[in-house]
Amino acid sequence: MPAINVSNVLARAASMIGKGTKYKLGRGGTNPAAATPADAAGRCDCSGFICWCLGMSRKTTHPAYLKFNGGWINTNAIVFDANSPIGFFTRLSTPVPGALWVYPWKKATKRVGHVAIIDSVSKSGTSIIHCSAGNYRGSGDAIRRTSGALFEKNRDSIIAWFAGFDAAMSPSNELHEALFEA
């Protein structure tokens, strides 16, 4: 597997576009060394896809994740982690390539959470790569590059930075703002 840096993670994410991945909630992402994020039946969900892109299994033994939800890295766990100093993610204030855009599952509304990786940021908008049921229904491929409008409109969305990236790559909020203004 290539080194964990923004360029390699984005290339890994983009490599799955057009491969005909099927969407299935709770599937994929358990073998970071596999050629694809999908399970043996070719199925994956958003969290499984993101974990695979980052070179990690969606099942972890990190104590905070074990206590939070039995060791699974999913949308709610990513949001929880990014909002506290516990593990793999830190919260950012603005979108930047390589960061995750995520919102949690809401039990009250029965709306499933979602996570994507930010591919590019410009004045004209933000591009994301993600695995979703909507992508699958619309094109027969769950993994696509789309606009980040879904996350921009969701007031529960947060941006999270993966701690596994080299610390030198971790952008400051000033850099985020400069990139967003570009």
Domain borders along the chain are 6-181
Tokens of 46: 């958003």
| Strand-pair category, 125-131 with 143-147 | antiparallel
Model confidence over 148-172: pLDDT tens digits?
Answer: 998 999 999 999 999 988 654 555 4
Which tens digit of pLDDT belongs to each residue from 79-107? 999 999 888 999 999 999 999 999 998 77
Helix (H) or strand (E) holding 58: none
Pick the CATH number of 6-181 from 3.40.50, 1.10.3470, 3.90.1720, 1.20.1300: 3.90.1720
Give the pTM. Answer: 0.89
CA dist list (Å): 66 to 28, 63, 69, 83, 84 = 19, 5, 6, 17, 15
